[in-house]
Structure 1
């Protein structure tokens, strides 16, 4: 998976054809037909293996039984999904678990509402990508959050289940996405009877969340940025620098040659998809997306076990990405919030110490000038861009410790 720094541009990762002898981790060279996949550098057809060849097998214990219940010899992907679906149920009578298609900006968008108690404060998750919905993989980290918050996930226009309503010429301006979020909040206020909500933006979603926090502080009890985007150009430069330093230290001749081939990056040349993909490939190979990992199949493949998405739903992710990228990319690369520092809503930042997908340097410099009713930064020392997956315990504790009091104060 390749994600541009600060923009969250997402593709399936293809491992480099060769790596240095000093760093040769196991790479899962598998893809999904529903993803937009950059060319395999090796040119090997092995990288295009189908889903059927990749069904995971979970072996039973040597005894073949636990508490008198025999294990099957293996568990199919469908059976695994059924187990997760049962685990994810919220059976207590005070819980809320609803889904609906809601018209936002004239476009039907899929919304999920889940929480242990409908009386808990509302937290809206504004997903990254763009066009990479958070709901399919939310089962990994969100269940504990649902004990304290009513969590709202929505598939943004042209994303996930909402991609079924993609039309030619659809409005994909950043301001339109922010207007959708504002309309979603109005709908949630009416449906759940709340006055304010929290917004948690991740990666690309931080552009929308930050803009809303500046525009409509009256709607929010707090804004939480995870993998915050502040300056697209600065992110590109810092991510490239990390990739080159890592490749030189690793004596990785292929990586050095490919990165040098980008010239003065990002420079004045157009930031084409190929240039971005090359930079992201190596930054993330050296742990810039998931700390200490060159491979992050656990993230991309977690969607395959989602109790909330069918295979047909998953196929819409690629549809949304193909519709979104050509129109959204220029606005993403030009995003610059360095001068937007005055806010009237509590501002929280959750930052992965090893994040080189949305590098933390621009965020830290920006925070020195931010004024808000309250500010707080949580550093995830063992995370990169995916701290809710990499340190899920610390993630929920941080939300309860630093975000929940702002909700309670309303």
Structure 2
């Protein structure tokens, strides 16, 4: 079976044929940029949940077929390729605004569009990795738009994340007597230190943290995640190539905002706050999140630990991810 026939099988598996379902795609102008939006769910009466993807510039939709189909029985799930990401990357120019504030404003405009299109007053936002910066900023600024915020692989302090990730990589390499890893990590000098945090330095640190299971628990690679995009029923081969285009154009411009983000003093929220944490996550390490969420005040808050996951708990433990969303997030939507 080749990729095309595999895509066809998965597309049929993901099809929602009942009359009450919704399966729509559209390019929506957000902040003056056309951005690709997918809306899928078993019933239009279910609460709306927006997935704010990570990366930067790594859209969630191509690999969503692994875990999302069951979630669509309980939520109307909205994925959107953020500006300069995935199918939205074709619209990027050197003048395109890639500030955090612009990404947050895009999400606010998307919610307004969904309010008109679907007739809802509030939505849930599920941020993953880089998307948690956008999501938690929105939760602070516009709680009136949300029935809950769910952080997955939450970023709270970019600087602390680098320190934690490097420490894990060096401890693991030392315990494993991995001379290659130790030499490469030592060559970084004091990390992150006062030298510029270039993409090359970060890639070296991440390479070894991920080799020791910091991105996908108990795995030295995460090929299944990247390869799953090749079978996506939502993306053609040309669409998939746009992911790389977006990442090359976006990373140098967005990376400083990711690395300097500091939300440690953002602790007062007027919306329910949920955190889904992978016990083995050293891509966005959990220690800074634990310290932060303990200080957070909100109408309600909950922390779910995924004991067999790292950074990709929706892929690594999809059953627990679904149950946690239904039991802990959905009641807030019903009550809103």
The TM-score, its normalising length taken from structure 2, stands at: 0.99
**Matched residue of 1:171: which SS?**
coil
Paired position in structure 1 for 2:159: 233
**Matched residue of 1:348: which SS?**
strand
Paired position in structure 2 for 1:24: none
Distance in 1 between residues matched to 2:219 and 2:153, nearest whole Å: 17
Q: 1:368, CA displacement in angstroms?
A: 1.3
1:255 to 2:181 alignment: yes
Distance in 2 between residues matched to 1:243 and 1:249, nearest whole Å: 10
Distance in 1 between residues matched to 2:322 and 2:302, nearest whole Å: 15
Given the alignment, which residue of 304, 313, 316 partners 2:230?
304
Paired position in structure 2 for 1:142: 68
Distance in 1 between residues matched to 2:194 and 2:156, nearest whole Å: 20
**Matched residue of 1:199: which SS?**
strand
Distance in 1 between residues matched to 2:172 and 2:87, nearest whole Å: 38
**Matched residue of 2:216: which SS?**
coil
Q: 1:167, CA displacement in angstroms?
A: 1.4
Paired position in structure 1 for 2:333: 407
Alignment size in residue pairs: 336
Q: For structure 1, which segment, 368-377 or 323-332, has the greater mean C-alpha deviation from structure 2 after superposition?
A: 323-332
Q: 1:189, CA displacement in angstroms?
A: 0.4
Q: 1:104, CA displacement in angstroms?
A: 0.2
Distance in 1 between residues matched to 2:73 and 2:38, nearest whole Å: 16
1:368 to 2:316 alignment: no
Distance in 2 between residues matched to 1:326 and 1:281, nearest whole Å: 18
Runs of 4+ in 1 over 6 A off after TM superposition: none
Distance in 2 between residues matched to 1:409 and 1:281, nearest whole Å: 43
Paired position in structure 2 for 1:211: 137
Alignment of 1:124-203 (within 5 A): 124-203=50-129
Deviations 1:213-263, CA, capped at 9 Å, x for gaps: 000000000000000000000000000000000000000000001101111
Distance in 1 between residues matched to 2:12 and 2:123, nearest whole Å: 28
Distance in 2 between residues matched to 1:240 and 1:284, nearest whole Å: 11
**Matched residue of 1:288: which SS?**
coil
1:345 to 2:267 alignment: no
**Matched residue of 1:302: which SS?**
helix
Pick the structure with greater CA Rg: 1
Distance in 2 between residues matched to 1:91 and 1:361, nearest whole Å: 43
Consecutive unaligned residues in structure 2, runs of 5 or more: none
Q: 1:271, CA displacement in angstroms?
A: 0.6
Paired position in structure 2 for 1:381: 307
**Matched residue of 2:275: which SS?**
strand
Deviations 1:109-141, CA, capped at 9 Å, x for gaps: 000000000110000000000100000000000
Distance in 1 between residues matched to 2:94 and 2:202, nearest whole Å: 26
Consecutive unaligned residues in structure 1, runs of 5 or more: 1-74
Q: CA RMSD in A?
A: 0.5
Paired position in structure 1 for 2:199: 273
Distance in 2 between residues matched to 1:191 and 1:105, nearest whole Å: 18
